[in-house]
Amino acid sequence: MRFDSVIIGGGLAGLTAGISLQEEGRSTAIVSTGQNALHFFSGCFESLQEPPQRMQDLFAGAGVRLHYREGVRLMPLGTFRPAALALADIDLVPVPHFADKVLIVGFAGFQDFFPAFLADGLAREGMQCRTVQLELPELERLRLSPSEMRSVQIARTLDRIWGKVIREVKHLLREEDAVVLPQVFGLQDPSVPEYIRQGLPVRVVFTGTLPPSVPGIRTQLLLKRRYEALGGTYLAGDEVVTAHIHGDVVHGIATRNLDSHCLEAGHFLLASGSYFSKGLKSTPFDIAEPVFGLDVVHADDRNAWYDTDFFADQPYMQFGVKTDTALHPLRDGQPLTNLYAIGSVLGATRPEFGFGAGLAVRSAFAAVDQILESL
Amino acid sequence: MNTKEFDVIIIGGGITGAGTQRDCAMRGLRTLLIERSDIATGATGRNHGLLHSGARYAVNDPESAAECIRENKILRQIAAQCIEPTDGLFITLPEDDPDYQKVFVEACRRAGIDAEVIDPALARRLEPSVNPALTGAVRVPDGSVDPFRLCAANMLDAKLHGGQVRLQTEVTGFIREGDTVRGVHTRNIRTGQEEDFYAPVTVNACGIWGQHIARLAGVEIGMFPSKGALLIFAHRINNMVINRCRKPSNADILVPGDTVCVIGTTSTRIPFEECDRVAVTPGEVDLLITEGAKLSPALFSTRILRAYAGVRPLVSADDDPSGRNISRGIVCLDHESRDGLRGFITITGGKLMTYRLMAEMATDTVCHKLGVDKSCSTAVTPLPGLEEPASEKGALICECENVTAGKVAHAIDHLEVSTLTDLRRRTRVGMGTCQGGLCACRAADRLAQANACAERERNDLADFMQERWKGNFPIGWGDMLREAEYTQWVYKHVLGL
C-alpha cells in the first residue's frame, strides 16, 4: 500500500498533520495504537498563547469549537490557572471571582470530581458555595457496578438525558448566580455543553474530572471523523513492528495487523508521543525510540533522569528524539531526510514549539509545510 | 475518660510499643501509648514482612535463631490472621560453597528448626519460580507476616484491655523528680496542644529514634542506624520464601506477600540525622535486582512497584562504643541499674518477629518495678481478629487494590485516620500499580469532606504524591516511568495541584 505520507501516531500531532495534508489533497494513513494524550487532555491548549488562525480553521472544520480569551480557569482541585486558548466548553474567566454564590453539582457515586476542593478554592476567592449531589435513576445501573461510575460512561448516559439535568439543576438553584458541573457532557454530541448553558439561567462552569477526559475524547473522535471524511486511512489498534530504511530514506513500515503488507510513502511523520504512548521506551540503562532506533537526547546517568521533587520539572520529560532544523530526526548522527518528528516524541528538545498541545500543533504544521513545499 | 495518670507510659507506636502495651494491659496495668506519627511508621512497616524460621541466623547467631523459631511457632498460634505459612527454601547455586549446606542444616537442627534437605528437582516443582540452576535446596518453616495488621491487632487488644493510645503526639520532654522519671511532656503535632502525663514507669520503644528519646531523659544509648533497602514487585512471583544457602549477604531473601513479592535487603550504616529521610539509590536498586534475579530469574522481567528502605535499630554493647560487636539481638535496658535513672526502660534491637518476646521482657521489667506479680500470657492468648468493614456497594476509590468508598469511609470514621498516608496503611489505597495516580485525589476529597478542611488536605495530597514518588523514581524506567509521566502530567496540568 502506498500513500503520499504515513503518520505514526493518532493523537493531536498526528491528526493535525493528517487533516492538514488531506485538506491539501494528499493521501495519508495514520497508524494508531489507540492510546494518546487526548485521553487526558485538560481542554486547554498548553503553550499556545495566541490562537493561530490556521488551527482555528482546522478545528472548526472538524466541528471542534475553540475560544480564545486571556484569563484564568478553574482547575479540578479548586485552584485557578492562567489560560488563553481552550475548547469552547472550558470556561475562561477574566478573574477568579466569577460569581457571588456558586452551586457545585456532583453526581452521587461519581468519585472523579472533587466538590470539597472546589468549594474551598471558590470560598478563598470570596464566593459562597453550596454543594449538592444529583441522584439520577438513569445512573443507577452504573452506580451498582463499582468500576463503571467514570466520566465517559456517565457522559454516554447524560448525552441522552441532558434535558433532565437542566430541570433538576434549575430546581436546586436558590440564589446562586453560577453552577459548577463536572465535564461529563457532550461525548458524542459536542453541542450538549452549550444546550446546558442555554438551559440554565445562571453562568455554567464545566470543571475537569480525573481522566479519561470527556472533552479530550470528544476532540479525538471529531478530529478522527474529519480525517476519515477527508479520505484519510486511520488504522486503529495497530502498531509499527519494523521500518525499512535505506541510507537516509525511510521506504516503508510494517505493522502488526497488516502482516506482510508494507506501508510505503514518500514522507513519514513520527507522532508517536513520549513514554506513556510508547514513543519513547526506557530501560534501566537507556532511553530509546523503538520504531526507527533514532538518536535520543538524554542523560546517560540514570540519577540525572529525575528530580526528587514530584512537582518539579522532571528531566526525563525533557528527553526526546534528536532532530535537525527541519525536524528530520537523526539516526547514528545522520538525518533521515523523509522522516519528521512531531509532538511530544520531541520532548523539550525544540523549545521554540512549546510543550504539550502547543508543541503537537506547531510542530505538525511545521512538518506539513515542508512536505507540501517539497512536492 | 481523660485521665492523665497511668501505671506505665509506652513511647513508640511500632510493633514493639504495641506489643508492650498489650502485654502490660493484659497484666492489669493502666497503659498509655504515645506515638509522634502513626502506627507502624518506622522499621515495623519497612522490612520484608518475613516470618523467619531462624534458619538465616542458625550458623552465625544460634541464640537469635532459637528465639526466632520459638516465636515463629507462637505467632502461628496467636496471630494466624496476620501470617501466611508459606515455608521457605534455602537454595545453593553453582557459585556457592557446596559444603555450606551441611553446616547450615546441622546448625538449624541444633537451634530446633526443621530443616529438610530436598532434591533440587523437587524444589523446582514446589517453587517453579526458583532459579533452575540450583544445586541444592533445604526446606524450612519460613512464612510471611503482615506487619501492619500485626501491629494494629496488638494495639486493638491493648485498647480492649483498657489501654489508651495517642497518635500524632510527640514527647517533648520528661518530668523528672531528682533521679526518677515521673512522666512526660507531650505536644499534639496537629493541634499544637501540650499535655503532661504521669506514670511511675516509662518505656522507650522507639526503635532507632530511641537514642533521641533516651537523650531527652538524660541517658545515652549508642545506636547504630543501619539502612536496609528493598524492592516490591507488582506480581507475586514466588509462593515460598526463597533464601540463599550461604552466609547472610545483600539481597538474598525473596518474600511473597499478598499479591506482591519483596526482595531485600542491603545493609548500610547511615548517620543518625538521616534516619528520618532514608532514600534508596539507583545503585542499591541495581544490586537488589541483579542479586535477586539469582534467586528467581523472573525478577528481571517483572515490573517493580516501589523501592523503600527501613532503619534497623541496632545497639552497640555498652563496652563497645566503636560498634564493632553490634548485636541483632534484643536489648532491654533498665536505666535504673545502668544509669541510676529510675522509672525508665528502653526496649530495642530485636526483630519484627521477636516483638512479643521483647514486649514480654520489657513488661517483666515494668512489673518488677511496680511490684506486680502477674506472669505473661501473650504467648498463649490469640490476638483479636481485625474486623473487615462490610464493603459498601458503590464506587471503587482505588481500582488497583480494590478499595471501595465504604472501606475508606469506615477507616476515616473508626480507625483514627488524619492523613492519606494513615489511610494507605489501613486500606492499601495508593499501594497498587498506579501508586496513587488516580485514587489519591478521590480519597483526598473524602478526607477533605470528613475533616472539613480542604486546604490542609490539598497539602496532604501533595505530601502523599511526593512520598509515593520517593519510592518510584529509583526504579523509574519501563512501565513505572510511563505511569509516572502520566501521573505527573495529570497532577500538574489537568488537576492543577
Give the pLDDT confidence of B124-144 residue by residue, as tens digits: 999 999 999 999 999 999 999
Query: How many Cα atoms occupy the beta-carbon half-sphere of B463 within 13 Å?
Result: 12
Domain end point (choices A192, A211, A230): A211
Share of chain B above pLDDT 70, in %: 95
Judge contact between A23 and A4, C-beta under 8 A. Answer: no
Put simply, the answer to whether B494 touches A40 (Cβ < 8 Å) is yes
Exposed e or buried b for every residue in B449-478, given b needs 16+ CB within 10 A?
Answer: bbbeebebbbebbbebbebbbbbbbbbbbb
Residues A101 and A136 in one domain: yes
For the cut 70, the answer to whether the pLDDT of residue B390 exceeds it is: no
Considering only the beta carbons, identify the residue of B465, B494, B497 that sits closest to A211.
Answer: B494
pLDDT category at B301 given cuts 50, 70, 90 is confident
- Asked if the structure places residue B380 within a domain, the reply is no
Kindly tell me if the per-residue pLDDT of B393 is higher than 60. Answer: no
Domains held by chain A: number: 2
Report the predicted TM-score, pTM, of the whole model to 2 decimal places: 0.85
Residue B156 and residue B135 in one domain: no
Domain co-membership, A226 together with A359: yes
Q: What is the CATH number of the domain that holds B274?
A: 3.30.9.10
Is residue B217 located within the same domain as residue B241?
no
Answer yes or no: do A138 and A168 share one domain: yes
Looking at residue B326, its pLDDT comes to 63
Question: Residue B209: what pLDDT?
Answer: 94
Last residue of a domain, one of A211, A235, A257: A211
Torsion angle defined by CA atoms of residues B251, B252, B256 and B259, in that order, rounded to the nearest 10 degrees: 30
**In this complex, do B394 and A309 lie within 8 Å of one another by their Cβ atoms?**
no
Based on the fold, state whether residues B246 and B276 are members of the same structural domain: yes
For A145-175, the pLDDT digits (tens) are: 777 889 999 999 999 999 999 999 999 999 9
Q: Is B361 exposed, middle or buried (0-12, 13-18, 19+ CB in 10 A)?
A: buried
Query: Per-residue pLDDT averaged across A201-208, rounded?
Result: 96
Rounded average pLDDT over A283-308: 94
Confidence of residue A69 (pLDDT cuts 50, 70, 90): confident
The CATH number assigned to the domain holding A300 equals: 3.50.50.60
Q: What is the CATH number of the domain that holds B351?
A: 3.50.50.60
Lowest mean pLDDT among A203-207, A340-344, B96-100, B384-388: B384-388
End-to-end Cα distance, chain A: 20
Containing structural domain, residue A225:
2-41+218-374
**Domain range holding B291?**
76-144+229-307
* Contact flag B477-A110 (C-beta cutoff 8 Å): no
For residue B422, pLDDT beyond 80: yes
Residues B97 and B133 in one domain: yes
Question: Is there a single domain that holds both residue B126 and residue B152?
Answer: no
Instruction: Annotate B443-475 with DSSP letters as a single string.
Output: HHHHHHHHHT-HHHHHHHHHHHHHHHHHHHGGG
Using alpha carbons, list the distances in angstroms from residue A214 to A204, B42, B491: 17, 42, 17
Task: Using the 3D structure, point to which of B333, B352, B370 is the last residue of a domain.
Answer: B370
Average pLDDT, chain A: 94
A356/A240 same-domain check = yes
- B496 vs chain A: nearest CA distance in angstroms? 6
Give yes or no: residues A177 and A320 share one domain. no
Mean pLDDT to the nearest integer, B113-125: 96
Q: Does residue B203 share a domain with residue B117?
A: no
Within this chain, do residues B125 and B152 fall inside the same structural domain, yes or no?
A: no
What's the mean pLDDT in A264-281? 96
DSSP E strands, B199-250: 201-204, 223-233, 241-244
For all residues of chain B together, what is the average pLDDT? 92
**A137 touching chain B per CB within 8 A:** no
Pairwise CA distance, residues B264 & B283, whole Å: 14
Q: What's the pLDDT tens digit per position in B432-443?
A: 888 888 899 999
The grid coordinates listed for B38 are 502513626
A79 Cβ under 8 Å from any chain B Cβ: yes
How high is the pLDDT of residue B259? 84
- Residue-level pLDDT at B386: 64
- How much is the pLDDT for A16? 97
Task: Give residue B451's pLDDT.
Answer: 86
Last residue in a domain, options B261, B277, B307? B307
pLDDT over threshold 60, residue A370: yes
Contact A109 B466 (CB under 8 A): no
Give how many domains chain B has, as a whole number.
Answer: 3
More confident residue, B108 or B324: B108
Residue B70: inside a domain, yes or no?
A: no
Per-residue pLDDT at A208: 95
Domain boundary among A211, A242, A262: A211
Cell numbers 514530584 correspond to what residue? Answer: A310
Asked if residue A228 and residue A204 are part of one domain, the reply reads no
Domain boundary among B307, B324, B355: B307
Structure confidence at residue B435 (pLDDT): 85
pLDDT of A351 strictly over 60? yes
- Hey, what's the cell of B445? 476529597
> Quick check: ipTM above 0.90?
yes
Residues A184 and A294 in one domain: no
Q: What is the pLDDT of residue B121?
A: 96
Scanning A334-373 for CB atoms below 8 A from B yields: 356
Which pLDDT value is given to residue A212?
Answer: 94
If asked whether residues A204 and A225 sit together in one domain, one would say no
Judge whether residue B1 has pLDDT over 50.
Answer: no
Residues A163, A60, single domain; the answer is: yes
Mean local confidence (pLDDT), B213-233:
93
Residue A261: pLDDT band (50, 70, 90) is confident
Q: Are A100 and A179 members of one domain?
A: yes
Residue B394 has pLDDT above 70, yes or no: no
- The C-alpha cell at A342 is 512531531
* Range B9-34 average pLDDT: 98
Does residue A47 belong to any structural domain of this protein? no
* One domain for residues B33 and B171: yes
A226 and A349 in a common domain: yes
Q: Are residues B318 and B329 in contact, defined by beta-carbon separation less than 8 angstroms?
A: no
Residue B321, pLDDT above cutoff 80: no
Do A189 and A259 fall within a single domain?
no
